[in-house]
Amino acid sequence: MRYAAFALLSVCVAAQETEEEFAYARKSLVHSLMNQYRYAEAEKTARTLLAKAEAKLPPEALEIGRLQSAIRECITLLRQGGSDEALRLAASALRIISKHTGAGSAESMNALVELANVHSGRFEFDVSVRMLEGFIEERQRVEGGDPQPMHRAQLELAAAHYTAGAYGKAKRAGERAVSFAESRFGVESPEVAYALTPLSFSLALLGESDAARKAFSRSLAIRETKLGPRHRLTIASMNNLATHYSASGEFAKARELFERANAARTELLGPDNPDNAIGLHNLGHLLHHSGDFAGARVKFTEAMELRRKTIGAESYLYATAQAELARTLWRLNELSAAREHAEQALAVFQRLLSPEHGHNVNTLGLLAAILAAQGHNDSAFRAAAEAATRWITMTRLSAQTVPERLALAVKDPLTESGLGLATALAVTGSDVDKRDALDLWTRSRALVLDEMSARQKALNRAASPEAEALRVKMIAARSRVVSLALNGGPGLAEAKAERDGAEAAYAEQNRDTRLALRRARIGIDEVARQLKPGNVLVAYALAKRDSFSEARMAAFILQGGKAVPVMVPIGPVTEVNRLVKRWREAISIAASDPQRAGIRAETSAREAGAALRRIVYDPIAPYAGKATRVFLVAEGLLQLVNFNALPAPDGRYLIDSGPLLELA
């Protein structure tokens, strides 16, 4: 069948002379392949047609713009939607199509929406939202006409707000999209089901779980009625509702829906289509998170085998299935097999993706955990530290570019990056390990908040038009690096060089950015140089070997004049937090009404404070006792503790009997 399609293509292309013949080939070949989910073949076919069209048709013929749009759609579906090429193709397609059909035509308006979508894929949400809002405002002034472009623009606007983390705006845009679809297409129309999708996800992330479930369910009911149970959009709605059930802990309902979706997809696409692995993945994740690791292993193995047969063992999608299988085997304590699969998946990710990509970071962190479970602590520490380094790089870069809500919602670095495992291993590791672990904690602390602060200061400070132009250029360069790092595509090294130049140029004009760039380079060497003899730095850190073990606290102790820290274990984080709360509550009671509280309340507060001191300060006291100043870098609830006010063993307080303790 595939051979026949390419044979037909070669015959058609050889004879093509007119724009109509190119249009026929595009519809019959490219769109046919896309409808079969064969996006890579569709892209290759469209590129062949475009090259022929550019050679045979007048410059900027309408069909050239349409072929550019088709290629852009293919590469978007192949996860390259934010690439420079996607932007170039979308912009060119809009220009050509508008030139031939008019700026107000339905086809032109669809092309504009597609260009806005590309900007969203590049994390350029401001540009995307401005384009879409301008388009919607303009269309609202026009009576009648095709409602589909307006419908699409409203959907894309809701999606852009959602992707940017502005869930309140996404909810309002989704509600407007639903209302518009109901009025123009009917309350049970497929368009309403489309509009309900971004609204549903926004409601879920705003905590409106019941409303989200109703919206997900309504979308599915419409599609089952209007499109049938085996339509790809109906299957998507099944997966959306199942995912919502899974996030709510309703695993039985989620599993039933996932299995229905998988059966429908297999019937729609046939048993050997690689997209069937999506459903296997969904079930595997559900089973894994519900604790059925044996069942998850079966589903991830099936997904991996299907992708091996259909798209090859060197593909990105095969590696994702292999990484998930490795994670499940790790939980089943089948460590040798888990390590083999993790190493193979990591090799593919490192070849195809940027070092800072989430798949590289998470898989490297997983490999570190497996190595630690096997007792290979040296190798495990190196892998965990490298994963944490990459996580810090991408998190800082993302915080410079993405909206504040997304930046502040960065996942816990303990379990997502390898930082917690590196800290846990460093406690009993070498001096080099301890030094490297402290360096990681130094560079990871408050990095998102630092970048948010620097960004806000840059916005608030009055700037000349020249400086503002440099700032805009810097933001665009940073966005391009993030897009390439997260989405893939060539040119990452060049983009980083361009970003570095843009940052340097703007830093010359802006003191806050200059200081922010300097802070981003601060590590243990800079900290050690600032510590004078007699000074001690105590940095509390969280150590966690994996996502299912208990978090513990450790303390780095760096004495002035020394380059290597000491590490001491503190104890379980839950116990530290319990003692902090107990002490604060006891102090609150004693201070609320001293006359009525009396000696008993004061005694209770001293006992609670002494218990807290024994666990968080006594282990570091031998290293800090002779110091003149101790700088404390607290973590978690310890940030609420005034260490100087803790009772000392001799009946006084630490401020009376020890060195000056300063929160840094």
SS3 per-residue string spanning 310-351: HCCCCCHHHHHHHHHHHHHHHHCCCHHHHHHHHHHHHHHHHH
Residue range 378-402: average pLDDT? 82
The C-alpha atoms of residue 310 and residue 624 are separated, in whole angstroms, by 62
pLDDT at 412: 47
Tens digit of each residue's pLDDT (9 = 90 or more) over 450-468: 454 555 455 445 466 777 7
Contact 417, 540 (CB under 8 A): no
Q: Note the CATH number of domain 1-146.
A: 1.25.40.10
Question: Over the chain, what is the mean pLDDT?
Answer: 83
Tens digit of each residue's pLDDT (9 = 90 or more) over 56-78: 999 899 999 999 999 999 888 77
The DSSP 8-state label assigned to residue 29 in this structure reads: I
Go through the chain and tell me how many residues it has: 664
CA 95 vs. chain centroid, Å, equals 33
The C-alpha atoms of residue 245 and residue 255 are separated, in whole angstroms, by 9
The C-alpha atoms of residue 11 and residue 23 are separated, in whole angstroms, by 15
The C-alpha atoms of residue 588 and residue 591 are separated, in whole angstroms, by 5
Contact 42, 6 (CB under 8 A): no
Nearest to 330 by CA among 282, 359, 368: 368
The C-alpha atoms of residue 364 and residue 370 are separated, in whole angstroms, by 10
Residue 650's SS3 state is coil
Neighbours of 564 (CB within 10 A): 14
Q: How far is CA 81 from CA 73, 84, 487, in A?
A: 8, 9, 8
Structure tokens at 205: 């992330």
Query: Quick check: 162 pLDDT over 60?
Result: yes
pLDDT at 10: 39
Nearest to 287 by CA among 296, 278, 279, 277: 296
Tens digit of each residue's pLDDT (9 = 90 or more) over 552-595: 999 999 888 888 899 999 999 999 999 999 998 888 876 666 55
Query: Quick check: 662 pLDDT over 80?
Result: no
The C-alpha atoms of residue 419 and residue 307 are separated, in whole angstroms, by 32
The C-alpha atoms of residue 567 and residue 584 are separated, in whole angstroms, by 27
pLDDT at 461: 52
Query: Quick check: 664 pLDDT over 80?
Result: no
The C-alpha atoms of residue 663 and residue 103 are separated, in whole angstroms, by 61
- Predicted model pTM: 0.77
Nearest to 627 by CA among 531, 563, 541, 527: 531
Lookup result for tokens 């997304």: 406
% pLDDT > 70, the chain:
84
Residue range 31-43: average pLDDT? 85
The C-alpha atoms of residue 294 and residue 333 are separated, in whole angstroms, by 11
Contact 309, 272 (CB under 8 A): yes
pLDDT at 166: 80
How are the residues of the chain apportioned to helix, strand and coil, as percentages rounded to the nearest 5? 75, 5, 20
Query: Quick check: 322 pLDDT over 60?
Result: yes
In this prediction, residue 406 has a pLDDT band, given cuts at 50, 70 and 90, of: very low
Lowest mean pLDDT among 223-237, 372-386, 497-511: 497-511
Contact 539, 555 (CB under 8 A): yes
Query: Quick check: 225 pLDDT over 80?
Result: yes
Strand order in the sheet with 629-633: 566-572, 552-559, 535-543, 629-633, 660-663
Q: What amino acid occupies position 237?
A: S
The C-alpha atoms of residue 550 and residue 555 are separated, in whole angstroms, by 17
Helix (H) / strand (E) element for 259: namely helix 251-269
Neighbours of 308 (CB within 10 A): 17
Tens digit of each residue's pLDDT (9 = 90 or more) over 170-193: 999 999 999 999 999 999 999 999
What residues contact residue 375 under an 8 Å CB cut-off, 6+ apart? Answer: none
Lookup result for tokens 């079966």: 298
CA 497 vs. chain centroid, Å, equals 23
Helix (H) / strand (E) element for 535: namely strand 535-543
Q: How far is CA 451 from CA 103, 366, 448, 456, 598, in A?
A: 40, 28, 5, 9, 48
pLDDT at 407: 40
